[in-house]
Homo-oligomer: A and B are copies of this chain.
Amino acid sequence: MEKIYEQTLLYDFYGELLTEHQRSIYEDAVYNDMSLGEIAEMRGISRQGVHDMLKRCDKILQDYEAKLHLVERFAGAKEKLSEIVELTRLGQSGQEMDDAGLMRRMERIRKLAEELWQEL
C-alpha cells in the first residue's frame, strides 16, 4: 500500500487517539502536503522535531492497527461492497438480462451481504 494512502486510512480510524497537537502536525504533513521544513518554520520548532513527531504518530497509529485491525477489516468489507454495487449494474452494455441471470446475481449479492454481516 502506498505510504500516504496507508497513513490516511490509519488516521481516519485512529486519529482521534492522538493528542490535538499531534493531529494538527500530522494533518499538515499528510493531508495538507506540507514539507517538514514548512511545518517546522510555521510552528517554530526544528525540522528534526517535526520528523520525530511524525514518526511517533505513525508508530502510534500502526500499533492501534496491530491490535484492532480496523483498516484491514474495512478494506475487506469495501471490496465486497464494490462487488455488490457491480452486480446491481444491469444492462449497461445494452443487453437485457434473463430471469435466471438476475436470480444468480441476487443469490451472489445475498451471499456477499451475509458474509459482510459476519465480518463487521
Report A's interface with B, CB cutoff 8 A. Answer: 13-14, 16-17, 64, 67-68, 70, 74, 77-78, 81-82, 84-85, 88-90, 99, 102-103, 105-107, 109-110, 113-114, 116-117, 120
State the CA gap A64–B13 with chains docked (Å): 12
Q: Decide: A120 and B88 in contact? CB cutoff 8 A.
A: no
- Please give the distance in Å from A113's CB to the nearest CB on chain B: 4
8 extra interface residue pairs, beta carbon distance < 8 Å, beyond A14-B68, A17-B64: A77-B77, A77-B120, A78-B120, A84-B109, A85-B113, A88-B106, A88-B109, A105-B106
- Chain B residues with Cβ below 8 Å from A13 are 68
- Chain B residues with Cβ below 8 Å from A117 are 78, 81-82, 85
- Please give the distance in Å from A109's CB to the nearest CB on chain B: 5
A-B contact pairs, 10 of them (CB 8 A): A17-B64, A17-B68, A82-B117, A84-B109, A84-B113, A85-B114, A88-B106, A88-B107, A102-B106, A105-B106
